[in-house]
Amino acid sequence: MSVKLIVGSEKITAILSGEIDHHSAKGIREKIDTAILENHPQELILNFSQVSFMDSSGIGLVIGRFKVMQGVDGKIAIEGASQQISKVMRLSGIDRLATIKS
Amino acid sequence: MKIINEMKIQFMSKSVNESFARTAVSAFVTQLDPTINEIADIRTAVSEAVTNCVVHAYRGTIGTIDICVRILEDNEVYIKIRDRGCGIPDIKQAMEPLFTTAADEERAGLGFAVMESFMDKLSVRSKLGSGTTIIMRKKLTSCGD
């Protein structure tokens, strides 16, 4: 699991890759939060297009980043989620917190 | 129900083994020629169950996790995951979607909800101080021999 951050003036795109579970989510959390707190973006985009597996730890990751973005008055969006990932996301009702882009 | 094939694994409750567990179970189930979605469902459910053992059952300690996978008649997969950890005081509450005792660790409280919705059947037995056993079953649509 790794994350690549593209930091713009108004938005940060976090390109996640690999498998997201409880073990791997820990490390990427801090990386994204540091970038948010340093740059205060209006939008955080979490890109899942290179994520091959995600369990509910990924939901915790999204909800956690939603809260951090709320702290800087920003929004959160999700893009590139596969069928398996979308299934986990639908179950969580996370679409009420984040915009889900195709 | 007749057991056609069976495998058992035992490993330490380290978070790095969450990935090992779901991979090992899905590798065994592959003999049934499951669809991509079926295997993804099983991988996700196993990952949730093992994460529960790591995060909750053995919180802050290391114990052992046992998994038994059986292939039953009619393409049914049976997965038993057992820990000897702290046990669940209130199973009904633990199974409520979004209920978690580890919110500060960003646990979403969806583990059991995922297991229930991705598998056909889920049963949970637990005894305080002795551990928890969950059994999940799923019938695959595939027809591999």
**pLDDT score of B121 more than 70:** yes
So what's the ipTM on this one?
0.91
Question: What's the average model confidence in pLDDT over B20-46?
Answer: 97
Query: Which of B22, B43, B106 is the closest to A63 by Cβ?
Result: B106
Contacts of residue A102, defined as CB under 8 A and 6 or more positions apart, other chains included, come to A79
Amino acid A95: pLDDT: 82
Residue A73, in any domain of the structure: yes
- Average of per-residue pLDDT values in chain A: 93
Domains in chain B, ordered, with CATH?
3-139 (3.30.565.10)
Residue range(s) defining the domain that contains residue A33: 24-41+59-77
Task: Tell me the per-residue pLDDT of B82-95, one tens digit each, with 9 for 90 and over.
Answer: 999 999 999 999 99
What is the C-alpha to C-alpha distance for residues A4 and A73, in angstroms, rounded to an integer? 23
Residue A83, in any domain of the structure: no
Q: Is A96 helix (H, G, I), strand (E, B) or coil?
A: helix
Residue A54, in any domain of the structure: no
Instruction: Judge contact between A51 and A17, C-beta under 8 A.
Output: yes
Residue A64, in any domain of the structure: yes
- Average of per-residue pLDDT values in chain B: 95
Residue A67, in any domain of the structure: yes
Q: Where are any strands of DSSP class E within A1-102?
A: 2-7, 11-20, 43-54, 75-79, 99-101
Residue A65, in any domain of the structure: yes
Query: Which of A19, A24, A59 is the closest to B108 by Cβ?
Result: A59
Residue A63, in any domain of the structure: yes
- If pLDDT is split at 50, 70 and 90, which confidence band does B145 have? very low
Amino acid B144: pLDDT: 47
- If pLDDT is split at 50, 70 and 90, which confidence band does B106 have? confident
Write a three-state SS string for B89-118.
CCHHHHCCCCCCCCHHHCCCCCHHHHHHHH
Residue A70, in any domain of the structure: yes
Q: How many domains does chain A have?
A: 1
Angle between helices A22-39 and B17-29 in degrees, nearest 10: 130
Task: Tell me the per-residue pLDDT of A68-84, one tens digit each, with 9 for 90 and over.
Answer: 999 999 999 999 999 99
Which residues of chain A neighbour B118 with C-beta distances below 8 Å?
87
More confident residue, B18 or A101: B18
* Residue A17 to chain B, least CA–CA distance (Å): 15
Amino acid B142: pLDDT: 63
